Structure 1
């Protein structure tokens, strides 16, 4: 049985499940080269069908993630985040009304329901329009089902986590009228315990702080997480006046939304507030709120396994705090935790509903995340020739990469199938030694990235305990760079290039079964240097998607002035590499930014 899953909102994409196994997953951003793009995922549907040799008639069902949202027929970019998004006049009007009347929520019972009732005709039009596109443009004749947004997050986490029983949490900005749901799941049977309205969203609250600090809400929350470690959480008392946790649910006690929320934050904060301290405050408070939410529902279910998905679960420090809870034995964060995971959850959820097959946690639903396209040596050679890049072919390219890395060179690696999810996990990756504490200054500059963002390590799995504390119960999720751990003294001393200022790191634990090529590179590098880890950062320029094709790889290699490109079995040397200039000017400026960037 083939089930195609699609998501047509932010980070739109498609996934394909065959007889219960996830065999393909692609986001359209990688194909059209526009990060976090919205819209009907036409390109990823075509790519998956072509790659797996399927016709529309071979698909037994189509699962569409999210029941209620507006149809975006065509691609809409997300360059400027939530507050710069191009919306229809109708949708702009709805957001303005919601911003202005949100204060009436306590005085007008059912205001949330009224708001969503007004939008139902547009939601119904989207369902009709999307079904028409799938049938008329693509020729699908199979059943098409629309599934709840948070159910799709929950199924993505549960079915790929390998648990028989678990408390499953979906926590994000919002979808289908809610910003979170909690499920108790046993043997594949989902019992919904809690739904938190979108108006009370922690994810959206975090985005408001992102916007206030001069970044782009919905795009740059990770920058706030990185900045937070440099600050002091002095503004938490102010944040408590806006959002709280009550009886296992977040509650927006300030009754603010969208523009009114930005204005309320600006009103409450001192005029010269410190950006790094506000970042530390929202991070510290978010950890407190989510840990409180998880603790509340674990006490009521008795579960000790926790599965997580949703945009808030992209916050690796929150995930670490959950893992460290005494009530938790094991935690798993789905690799595509944000909305890029919607198609995966939809396809897995519908497959298990239609197949009648009992759930077996030992079944390899997602044995790895290398689920995108790949390119053979001939295709790579032709692109090198077209681009005029001189490259030499190596029979043992992994050993040559290790040798170059041992010589302190930056090596971009393009090999095999592209990764699914937001992390580069070895196949579309930039590698460098972990020994240079100044690397985040000059390599971030080369890639045009934010100066204070830390780099993450790829580590041989059997050496994980040498590098990190508290791995037990999170080893599986650490395969996907979805959680941080405290670093050992040895790690902090030997590998300072990947240890953040708070003594944590976000590792990828690499097993030979997951990625044989990356494991060989790490193994050879350890033979040469004694170190079992390397910097592994995504192969892309700032604000661009991770590279997908040989053309993308060659372009980013040149723009980033990287030392070497290992592409398939070929290695090219850059005649114009980036100088190792550890200029801290931008970093120092970021640490001292204060006050409102703009008024709302």
Structure 2
């Protein structure tokens, strides 16, 4: 008889749900995709019903059919059993969420934040044996890890004699073999001052600099994109290395004492902000290389799994691969908090006897595939013109070669922050003018932010300095010098690109589109950016796609085999 496991991320940002059936991930979705509120999370009175119902509807089951629920919540009030009782009364006795929330009526396993991250990376990786590094802004408080959450982290702390001091998870190291994950070290920020306890971690370091530069600590991607424009003239001095590892300087945050500026004022201080971005990026890279070298020395393992928000720093990921002894590294596409639900579900799979590790994770397309009937109904409701194509890849490749901007919507949505060819906006990469037109007409992003290429995997070494796969767009590498002028639209100011490698087995129709384009132009790659406008979540439904198309200057919208025009 089939077993269903529901994984939940109940964070105050980027909450999500994932449903596993037996040894296969059926579906996963972030709350923001359904509510259309960027980084939408949970709070008292705002449980993530949307993501849960989406997963249950996809499988055609009810909550009563779920064998085990595994959840993580990042803040203490979400880790308090009394919180579940509060939510139960808020939702009402007949709401299906009562069965999730009331832990006495349904099997619910709560696990720690970093343990969920560890499962999300290792169990999706191709490795049987690997080291795992989880590193982010903050995980769970040590009291909660020891007294509320279950699983390997709790056992490790109790057996080691650790005494909780009110610190928060900032770095966890594990080893894994044959599906069994074993903690080997955990570091908590345990300062007596509440705010100081948060600044002594790499995630918070990057968050605070992003807050200072952009007025939003979640704009780490913008900070990473700005860094190559900077010089080493604005030393941060946040981290120093020690024999034990590293230490944070208590004084570094005092540099960031000015309020966020207006756009005009910001432009006047571009050089300063770029220099600060350069410095925080450099300190992050040096620190993680130092840390990963130490992990390799301690474990002697060839493979490394990364997870946590810091693992989305694709520049650092490549530096780790280049400058540590690890032969290969794996980063899950949803390395940040949205991926927690997958880690929770995979922990549930392990708890219900899922050994050895049998997952084969080919792609990140974990959303629902909408039927032709649903697509046509949405288009008709929009009032836009449409027709069905006889050969969608060939026809769209022709439009791309004519400098058209294409919104491309196919099958199930990607899970995580990257658009990987199912919810993408596409254009040629052969001119800077095309890139700038895309930004000015559609994306409305800062001009210093680069766009990424999707390249047929077999041709990636011809265009980029790479001998590795990068299916989830989580590695930045150098563009070959003789190709920079061929595809200037995806080349950053430092001569790099954040590459997605594409294969027919893993990417299906998206690979076939790029192949058709290559046959027309001789260029086996296209520019790929997420199907959304700045500040909004990536589109999920056909209606979302149509609304975004109508509000922008995208030339053509493609949904399945249908071509829509204004």
Question: Hey, what does 2:248 align to over in structure 1?
Answer: 252
1:418 aligns to what SS in structure 2?
coil
Q: Is the 8 A contact 2:289 2:324 kept in 1?
A: no
Deviations 1:43-77 (A, max 9, x none): 00001000111111211100002465334xxxxxx
1:17 aligns to what SS in structure 2?
strand
Question: Hey, what does 1:41 align to over in structure 2?
Answer: 48
Q: Is the 8 A contact 1:15 1:347 kept in 2?
A: yes
1:168 aligns to what SS in structure 2?
strand
What is the Cα deviation at residue 353 of structure 1? 2.1
1:408-447 counterparts in 2 under 5 A?
408-446=403-441, 447=443
1:55-134 counterparts in 2 under 5 A?
55-66=62-73, 68-71=75-78, 123-126=80-83, 128-129=85-86
Give the direction of change, closer, same or farther, for the CA distance of 1:507–1:408 in structure 2 (3 Å limit).
same
1:283-362 counterparts in 2 under 5 A?
283-355=281-353, 357-360=354-357
Give the direction of change, closer, same or farther, for the CA distance of 1:124–1:247 in structure 2 (3 Å limit).
farther
Give the direction of change, closer, same or farther, for the CA distance of 1:135–1:67 in structure 2 (3 Å limit).
farther
What is the Cα deviation at residue 255 of structure 1? 6.9
Q: Does 2:33 correspond to 1:26?
A: no
Question: Hey, what does 1:265 align to over in structure 2?
Answer: 256
What is the Cα deviation at residue 470 of structure 1? 3.0
Question: Hey, what does 2:551 align to over in structure 1?
Answer: 559
What is the Cα deviation at residue 370 of structure 1? 0.9
TM-score, length of structure 1 as denominator length: 0.81
Residues of 1 paired with 2:85 and 2:289: CA distance? 40
Residue among 186, 192, 213 paired with 2:177: 186
TM-score, length of structure 2 as denominator length: 0.85
Question: Hey, what does 2:451 align to over in structure 1?
Answer: 455
Q: Is the 8 A contact 2:239 2:283 kept in 1?
A: no
Question: Hey, what does 2:111 align to over in structure 1?
Answer: 147
2:311 aligns to what SS in structure 1?
helix
Give the direction of change, closer, same or farther, for the CA distance of 1:128–1:255 in structure 2 (3 Å limit).
farther
Q: Is the 8 A contact 1:20 1:352 kept in 2?
A: no
Give the direction of change, closer, same or farther, for the CA distance of 1:558–1:165 in structure 2 (3 Å limit).
same
Residue among 133, 137, 140 paired with 2:95: 137
What is the Cα-based RMSD across aligned positions, in Å?
2.1
Give the direction of change, closer, same or farther, for the CA distance of 1:215–1:123 in structure 2 (3 Å limit).
same
What is the Cα deviation at residue 246 of structure 1? 3.5
Give the direction of change, closer, same or farther, for the CA distance of 1:529–1:36 in structure 2 (3 Å limit).
same
Give the direction of change, closer, same or farther, for the CA distance of 1:341–1:420 in structure 2 (3 Å limit).
same
Deviations 1:466-519 (A, max 9, x none): 1211333xx1xx101111111112431211111111111111111101121111
Residues of 1 paired with 2:436 and 2:176: CA distance? 45
1:467-478 counterparts in 2 under 5 A?
467-472=463-468, 475=469, 478=470
Q: Is the 8 A contact 2:369 2:411 kept in 1?
A: yes
Give the direction of change, closer, same or farther, for the CA distance of 1:137–1:154 in structure 2 (3 Å limit).
same
Residue among 402, 405, 416 paired with 1:407: 402
Deviations 1:160-197 (A, max 9, x none): 01111111011100011211201111222222122122
What is the Cα deviation at residue 323 of structure 1? 1.1
What is the Cα deviation at residue 546 of structure 1? 0.3
Question: Hey, what does 2:124 align to over in structure 1?
Answer: 160
Residues of 1 paired with 2:423 and 2:224: CA distance? 24
Residues of 1 paired with 2:17 and 2:311: CA distance? 21
What is the Cα deviation at residue 129 of structure 1? 4.5
1:527-538 counterparts in 2 under 5 A?
527-538=519-530
1:417 aligns to what SS in structure 2?
coil
Q: Is the 8 A contact 1:440 1:452 kept in 2?
A: no
Residues of 2 paired with 1:170 and 1:13: CA distance? 19
Give the direction of change, closer, same or farther, for the CA distance of 1:197–1:247 in structure 2 (3 Å limit).
farther
Question: Hey, what does 1:466 align to over in structure 2?
Answer: 462
Residues of 2 paired with 1:287 and 1:134: CA distance? 49
Residue among 354, 361, 382 paired with 1:387: 382
Question: Hey, what does 1:243 align to over in structure 2?
Answer: 239
What is the Cα deviation at residue 127 of structure 1? 5.1
What is the Cα deviation at residue 438 of structure 1? 3.1
What is the Cα deviation at residue 382 of structure 1? 1.7
Question: Hey, what does 1:13 align to over in structure 2?
Answer: 16
Give the direction of change, closer, same or farther, for the CA distance of 1:509–1:65 in structure 2 (3 Å limit).
same
Q: Does 2:133 correspond to 1:174?
A: no
Unaligned runs of 5+ in 1: 72-121, 575-600
What is the Cα deviation at residue 131 of structure 1? 7.4
Q: Is the 8 A contact 1:441 1:452 kept in 2?
A: no
Residues of 2 paired with 1:296 and 1:282: CA distance? 21
What is the Cα deviation at residue 130 of structure 1? 5.9
What is the Cα deviation at residue 214 of structure 1? 2.9
Deviations 1:507-533 (A, max 9, x none): 111110112111111111011000100
After the TM superposition, which of the residue ranges 513-522 and 525-534 deviates more from structure 2? 513-522
1:514 aligns to what SS in structure 2?
helix
Residue among 471, 475, 483 paired with 2:475: 483
What is the Cα deviation at residue 450 of structure 1? 2.0
Q: Is the 8 A contact 1:440 1:453 kept in 2?
A: no
Residues of 2 paired with 1:491 and 1:49: CA distance? 47
